[in-house]
Amino acid sequence: MPLVIVAVGVAMLLLLMIRFKLNGFISLILVALAVGVMQGMPVDKVVGSIKAGVGGTLGGLALIMGFGAMLGKLLADCGGAQRIATTLIAKFGKQHIQWAIVLTGFTVGFALFYEVGFVLLLPLVFTIAASARIPLLYVGVPMAAALSVTHGFLPPHPGPTAIATIFHADMGKTLLFGTLLAIPTVILAGPVYARFLKGIDKPVPVGLYNPKTFTEEEMPSFGVSVATALVPVILMALRAVAEMVLPKGHPILAYAEFFGDPVIATLIAVLIAIFTFGLNRGRSMDEVMGTITESIKIIAMMLLIIGGGGAFKQVLVDSGIEKYIADMMHGSSVSPILMAWSIAAVLRIALGSATVAAITAGGIVAPLIATTGVSPELMVIAVGSGSVIFSHVNDPGFWLFKEYFNLTIMETIKSWSVLETIISVCGLIGCLLLAMVV
């Protein structure tokens, strides 16, 4: 019965948005209320879940998205994004630009959370699409694929790191196996699949991208543009390295954790960008602050919609859906890797949150590692793969992709949801193949 209620909720959401054209944020809140009541939750608990879902989703994300949008707008408005794009196009050529994006996304994805990397790389994607006159998703999908694979497969991202801890898996081996599987997965889900989406040719959103063409003199250098844009990546990478090599309590570790926090790292990047992309380019402080104000206006509704997705997800979690699914899967005799992937996949589709699905599935299948002798590192990747399958309307990431690329719900499913499913299935197949030799 709980799964039927979830299905009814998803159908109701699609009806409100597609048939009645209701705003996404309002629709998500109404559906969250309806699903909570249908699941038998007390009305006051439903309201509490919605508040917790919005707050939990937007708590750090609002700051990160805000600072990320500021950095991206400053980068775009000074010509820095155009400089990076034209340099990459010149080096790789229009025919191979997808590989430049994949390489950039994969490198950035090691250190950044998915949402942070997504927001920071968007101006680059928009600029390349406009400069090379190619479909937006042709470069957007490879970028999203690279970021999503690192998010689902590789420590130090929250899901893989938490599962590795639960399974007592070796972080180094997990990173090694994850990277081996990530490379072919990114190629299939990114450049290869993007070729099937040429029919979805959306214009670059004018509000998020400055279509002005800059002269050579107006643009900052390639080095300054890249260095400023990668400040958050560098700071967060240093934090990840420090956490791996320094013992707890080391004085340097505290500083690394502070400056490598995503919020602090993006804030520092914005402060640097105010100088490198603003004051140092001859712009007044009033002009720079105008750019920053404009960047926040652009993402306001986007934040609400993502928060609404978080509310829907939280109601599903608090109503006990994961316990129901766990009980339903208990006692099965299938392969532990396949079971781990399946449980994470079902939880992901039902709950929306990849991290919640991964951690919950990890707790359910952890006893299988000792009894079956399966590689705990491959189990980490199997759970991580399952946790990213078929992102849809109950996942804040679905709305993030939809809103930034200005897609309809069906276009988002054809692009983003299928992309995530390709990543998930490739991860499962890779784990099963590696299990034969590990």
Task: Kindly list the distances between the CA atom of residue 308 and the CA atoms of 14, 280, 433, in Å, as whole numbers in the listed order.
Answer: 14, 40, 39
Q: Tell me the two tokens of residue 22.
A: 């209701």
Confidence of residue 147 (pLDDT cuts 50, 70, 90): very high
Cα–Cα distance for residue pair 104/92, rounded to 1 Å: 12
Q: What is the mean pLDDT of the chain?
A: 87
pLDDT for position 72: 83
Residues 271-314: pLDDT tens digits? 999 999 999 999 999 999 999 998 888 788 878 887 887 888 78
Report how far residue 381's alpha carbon sits from residue 67's, in angstroms, rounded to the nearest whole number.
31
pLDDT band at 327 (very low <50, low <70, confident <90, very high): low
Could you tell me the pLDDT band of residue 141, with boundaries at 50, 70 and 90? very high
Please give the structure tokens belonging to residue 424.
């998930």
Predicted pLDDT at 364? 76
- Averaging pLDDT over each range in 118-122, 154-158, 363-367, 427-431, which range is the top one? 427-431
Does this model's pTM top 0.75? no
Mean pLDDT, range 210-218, rounded to an integer: 78
- pLDDT band at residue 337 using 50, 70 and 90 as cut-offs: very high
| φ, ψ at 161 (rounded to 5°) | -65, -45
- pLDDT, residue 423, reads 98
383-431 pLDDT, tens digit per residue, is 999 999 999 988 889 988 998 899 999 999 999 999 999 999 999 999 9
Would you say residue 210 has pLDDT above 70?
Answer: no
Residue with the bigger pLDDT between 266 and 110: it is 266
| CA distance to 99, 432, 433, per residue, from 427 (Å) | 20, 9, 10
pLDDT of residue 209: 65
pLDDT for position 323: 65
Contacts of 364 (CB under 8 A, 6+ apart): 326, 329, 343
Q: What's the confidence (pLDDT) of residue 88?
A: 82
Residue 329 has pLDDT above 60, yes or no: no
284: Cβ contacts below 8 Å, ≥ 6 apart: none
pLDDT tens, position by position, 71-82: 988 988 898 888
Q: Report pLDDT for 351.
A: 77
Question: Taking the CB of residue 214, how many other CB atoms lie within 10 A of it?
Answer: 17
pLDDT in tens, 116-125: 778 878 888 8
Tens-place pLDDT, residues 14-73 = 788 878 888 888 988 999 999 999 999 999 999 999 999 899 878 877 888 889 889 988
Segment 343-359 mean pLDDT:
83
- When pLDDT is averaged across residues 120-132 and rounded to a whole number, the result is 83
For residue 432, the one-letter residue type is L
Confidence label for 132 from pLDDT (cuts 50, 70 and 90)? confident
Please report which confidence band the pLDDT of residue 332 belongs to, taking 50, 70 and 90 as the band edges.
low
